[in-house]
């Protein structure tokens, strides 16, 4: 649960992430490695209630910033999750925060 202004920030982050996913869907594609990584990190931070980190990860997703070098070499990013998987995770994070 989040209170007061944290609630508004959490809701704003979820809405921004939702819009990013909608844009990717409208383009009829799945997210690339960078998008998937940063969106996934933002969702994870929102789910855990770390809203400042979630805000920064959302900004990185919007800018499609590079993946940190120590993470980029890992093979788990070779097949990024589909939009549906990210949307399901976002929905779970929103429910966790009671948004």
d(CA 18, CA 77) in angstroms, rounded, equals: 21
Q: Can you give the residue ranges of every domain in the chain?
A: 4-96
Predicted local distance difference test score (pLDDT) of residue 1: 45
CA angle 13, 19, 73 (to 5 degrees): 75
Label residue 95 exposed, middle or buried (CB < 10 Å: 0-12, 13-18, 19+). Answer: exposed
Reported pTM: 0.89
The whole-number mean pLDDT for each consecutive block of 10 residues of the chain, a chain of 99 residues, reads: 76 96 95 94 95 96 93 76 93 85
Alpha carbon 29 to chain centroid, angstroms = 17
Predicted local distance difference test score (pLDDT) of residue 97: 78
Predicted local distance difference test score (pLDDT) of residue 67: 92
d(CA 19, CA 36) in angstroms, rounded, equals: 14
d(CA 41, CA 23) in angstroms, rounded, equals: 18
């Amino acid at each position: 649960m989040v209170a007061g202004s944290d609630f508004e920030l959490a809701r704003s982050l979820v809405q921004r992430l939702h819009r990013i996913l909608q844009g990717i869907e409208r383009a009829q594609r799945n997210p690339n490695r960078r998008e998937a990584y940063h969106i996934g990190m933002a969702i994870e931070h929102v789910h855990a209630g770390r809203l400042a980190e979630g805000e920064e990860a959302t900004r990185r997703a919007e800018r499609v910033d590079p993946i940190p070098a120590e993470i980029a070499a890992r093979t788990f990013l070779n097949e990024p999750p589909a939009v549906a998987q990210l949307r399901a995770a976002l929905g779970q994070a929103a429910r966790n925060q009671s948004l």
